[in-house]
Structures are given as C-alpha cells and as structure tokens.
A and B are shown apart, each in its own frame.
Chain A
Amino acid sequence: MKLHQFTIHELQKKLRGDDTTSAEIVESVIERIDAVEDRIHSYITLLKDSAREEARKADGDIRSGKARPLTGIPIAVKDLICTRGVRTTCGSKILHNFIPPYDATVIEKLRDAGAVIIGKTNMDEFAMGSSTETSHFGATRNPWDLDRIPGGSSGGSATAVAADECIASLGSDTGGSIRQPAALCDVVGMKPTYGRVSRYGLVAFASSLDQIGPFTKDVEDCAIMLNVISGYDPRESTSVPIDVPDFTSFLSGDIRGWTVGIPKEYFIEGIDPEVEAAVRKAIAVVEGLGARCVDVSLPHTEYCLAVYYIVAPAEASSNLARYDGVKYGYRSKEGRDLMEMYKKTRSEGFGTEVKRRIMLGTYALSSGYYDAYYKKASQVRALIKRDFDEAFRSCDAVLTPTSPTPAFRLGEKMDDPLQMYLSDIFTISTNLAGIPGVSVPCGYTAAGLPIGVQFLAAPFEEGKLIRIASAYEKHSGIEKRRPNL
C-alpha cells in the first residue's frame, strides 16, 4: 500500500512509531495528485509548496514530542472556507481573485491540530448544486466512473478523499452537499448539528442551514476530524456553547437494544432499486447487531424539497447581495454609473444556477409574495422539525438512503433544475431540522457505482452517529474497493 492510501489513524501510528515522516506522506499525496488530478479535477488551488513546508515543521514537532491529532496529515479544504493569503473562490468568477485577509475558525483549528493543508477543492458555484458541474473552474469527475458526476456541492472534497489525493477533507452541507457526494464517491461524510462547528469564515450560502463537516476514508477518521473542528466560537453568534465529547470514545460502542427508525416516506417510488436493496441490506445488518428497527413516520417529508427551495434561495439572495464589485472580487469593466456597474458585475460574475436561485429567493421575499412563500415555508419547516423531535423521542437513530440514485452522468440534469434538486430529497430535511447526519458506504451497484446509507440523530448526538456508523462499518460485510484509475 502507498502512503496516500492510508487513513488518518493509520498514519498517526506510522508517524509516532517512526515508520514514516510527514514529508514522505505529503510527497506521496502530491505524486498521486500529479497522476490522477487531470482526469478528476478535485482541486481549484493546489498548495504543494506550503504543504511541503508545513510537513517539515510537522516532522520537527513529532521529533520533539509535540504531535497533535492531525500533525503531518494532508487535509483538503472546500474552496468556500476562508484561508488567509490563499485564494478562496467559492467556485465563482465573482470571487476568482479573492484573497481572504483571515482564516476561518475551522482552518485555525486544523492548524492548531497540526494539519498540512494541501489544497482548496472544487465545488458547485456558491455551493449551489448537486453535481459540481456549476463551478466556474470546470466540472469534477467521479473517480468510480469518469463519465459521471461526483455529487455536490462539495464534489472536489469527496473525490480528493476517494481518489487518495488527500487523507481527509472539509466540505460544507446546506442541503446534502457533504452526504450526497460522500455516498456517490464511497467515503464517509458527516454534517454535524447546526451550531456544533463554527461558520466563522465560511462564505455564507443559506445561513440557517449551512454547516461545515468532514469527508474521511472511515468512521474512525470522521470522529478524529469532528474532535478537531467542533466547539463554541464567540465570533459566530449561532455557534452553540455546549460541551464537545471525545467522539472517538463512541467508536467501540455497540448498538444492542437501540431503536432505529426506518421512515417509510424515504422508500418511495423513484428510488433506484439497487440503492433500495443495498439500504435494506444495511437495515438487516443493523438488526443483526441487536438494534430494533421500527417503522416511523415523518409525515411532512413530502414538503421538504419545496420548503428548502424557498428558504435556501431566500437566504442566498440576501447573502449574495454583498457581491457588488466594490469591496472585493470581480468588477465589470462596463457600467457608466453605479447601478449599471452593479448589474453588469453581478450578471457577468455569477453563473446560471446562482442567478436562478437569487431570482427565486428575491421573488419569494418580494412584496406581496412573502407570506405565500417564505412565511409558509418557515411554518412547514417547523412541522418538519416537529416530525424529527417526535421520532427521536422513541428512536436512537433514523436510517435512510443518502441519495435516491447512484452517480448520474455529466450533463444529464443540467437543463432540468427540478430534477437536479430531487437529488437532495433524502438529505435536505436534516438541514431544515438542524440535526446531524452521516453517510456511510453501504455497497455497490452491479455497474460498480458506490451507494451510501444515511444515519440521523437528535441535535448534538453526533456521538450516537459515530457509534452506529462504526458498528455498521465493522459488520457490513462489504469488501472495500478502490476506484480503478
């Protein structure tokens, strides 16, 4: 096995046992990037030089006994998380030249934990998409089938892990943007509880839904990353002051006697039969581990998509008002007065999907329509949350498919926004309710495309997710494959 193929916890042991150095790990990852990146396009910006420098420093820290949880480990970061002095584009022309003057809190936390930051990953423009095709910098391809999409919007963060172009990565999840690409690329992806991880320095898409989370090669690494990035941040007013447990302490636990809810609304017409079969098999595995799987109902599930596509664009339309060509980013050369400059800058700087959502959100918030759309959607959102509150009164966790289909072909849904939006049908309820969710690999289609199973838990119960996900991972009986690149 090559060094770039290992997990964080395996490399930790090697580094501490003097089996390898961070410099060697970083070289191995760079070699891998050089070999596969032109086919996959995981990255917008690569940081080979600074990564090599950080690796040398990490090796010094290890020698002097100052190893921390991520010391010397190459981590990739989605390109909407601000990195001081390193271009942060959001996959958009309008921010193509933006150099943040400060680090996001999660970047400070990664650095404090000793991580080596290897690059900034590709994404749907402003995280709006489910396929990573709307990036201004070109599409990312799925390592399992280069004619297919990797999912999105954190597609580059998923493929970088799946193709061993980094050891782990960070993404963001507003409606499934971590979990859906994790499922489609055969990696573990978690969206923590809203408020668990600071959003300070995360470029805002929909502020009441956005949350940063990790992509990893296994559940143990997910717990390690979660330990690093979680915690209250006084600079972020929706960050919640609540204790952070050691998530690795949940890895060895069993789920005997647990009640796991299976919501009937998530096994609907339109779900791919191979996906359904794999997820049904996962239910049997969970039952075999001593949990009781029971039918639960989340009756407002059918409204989730409609609620999401009002709430998220409404918040986006006001968040994205700041891109006006004045303070940073792209400015149109045309425009004789201020109004014309605004319009030209925004029309030239944003891509089609972003404009579509700004339009939708502006319409939904505009005079005369506010009650019919935004207010109504926010009321139904309360009912969706209530459904989950009710389910978690009797269930330790809820189990669903992550995505209704395996990876689809590039271009397949680009001209049909509603079809594209339906890719998120099983993941958006989590964001609306603010609860945590994790996608774990649960098998492959006959054509060899990965499938994911999603576990959900009550707010701040990520520990339970780590517990059930690791128990499932250990006993799923699925032989781990690697993409053939």
Chain B
Amino acid sequence: MKITKEEVGYVAHLARLEFSDEEKEKFTSQLNDILIYMEKLNRADTTGVEPLTHATYLSNAFREDDVKPSLPHDLSMANAPEERGGSFRVPKVIE
C-alpha cells in the first residue's frame, strides 16, 4: 500500500476536505493505483538534473511600482456569500 486510509484522512484535513467512510475507501484504492503508476518515475535517471518548474526562459518580471487604479471596494465585495459593514463575514474563528 502506498497510501493508507488514515493518510487519506490526514491529507483530506490538509486540503480542507472531508469524506464519508465509503468515499475514503474508494479514494484510498484509486490513489494507490495512481501512486503505483507514478513509481515508474524512479526508473528515470535524474542525477544532477535541475528541476524544471516553468517552461519559459523568463526569471523575474519586474515593473515600476506605480500607483494604478484597482478594483473598487464595492465590486470586490459583490460576490461575497455574506457581508457586513463592507467586510466579509465568516463563522467565528476562536471560541
């Protein structure tokens, strides 16, 4: 087993997801199949190879730090599921 049901539960918490027991079983078996397939990467010799995380030759994209118009407050809030006093409203964070 590459990944256990307990690990699936832990990773779900990291990803802020929750699953029923049945879903956890199914994900565990499917993720196992996928991770076993990934093992073929170990056959590739990558000694001394720099990881490639972006396919362009660009490194940094700098610009002048000019003040420009940005999204107005009311438009930023327009999609909020809950709002109060111009702020996003959420359930309580601390007891």
Contacts and interface: CB of A to CB of B under 8 A. Distances in A.
B82 interface: yes
Given A343-B18, A383-B49, A360 B34 contact: yes
A240 B58 contact: yes
A195 interface: yes
Interface residues of A, number: 69
A273 interface: no
Interface of A: 97-99, 101-102, 194-195, 208, 234, 237-238, 240, 300, 302-303, 305-307, 309-310, 317, 321, 324-331, 335-344, 346-347, 350, 355-356, 358-360, 362-363, 366, 373, 375-383, 385, 417-418, 432-435, 459
A363 B51 contact: no
B61 A418 contact: no
Contacts of B46: 376, 379-380, 383
A327 B78 CA distance: 9
Interface in B1-28: 3, 7-8, 11-12, 14-19, 27
A390 to B, nearest CB: 15
A347 B93 contact: no
A359 B90 contact: no
A320 B46 CA distance: 30
A102 B75 CA distance: 9
Nearest to B19: A347
- Interface-centre pick from A339, A341, A346, A359 (highest chain B CB count, 10 A): A359
Given A240-B56, A309-B34, A362-B11, A380 B27 contact: no
Contacts of B34: 309, 360, 417-418
A346 B13 CA distance: 11
B44 A300 contact: yes
30 contacts: A194-B55, A237-B58, A238-B54, A238-B61, A303-B40, A310-B38, A310-B41, A325-B81, A327-B80, A337-B92, A341-B90, A343-B18, A347-B19, A359-B15, A362-B15, A363-B31, A366-B11, A376-B41, A378-B51, A378-B53, A379-B46, A380-B46, A381-B52, A382-B50, A383-B46, A385-B52, A385-B55, A418-B33, A434-B56, A435-B55
Nearest to B8: A359
Contact of A208 (B16, B31, B55): B55
B79 to A, nearest CB: 3
B93 A338 contact: yes
B88 to A, nearest CB: 5
A247 B43 CA distance: 41
A166 B16 CA distance: 40
A379 B51 contact: yes
A101 B76 contact: yes
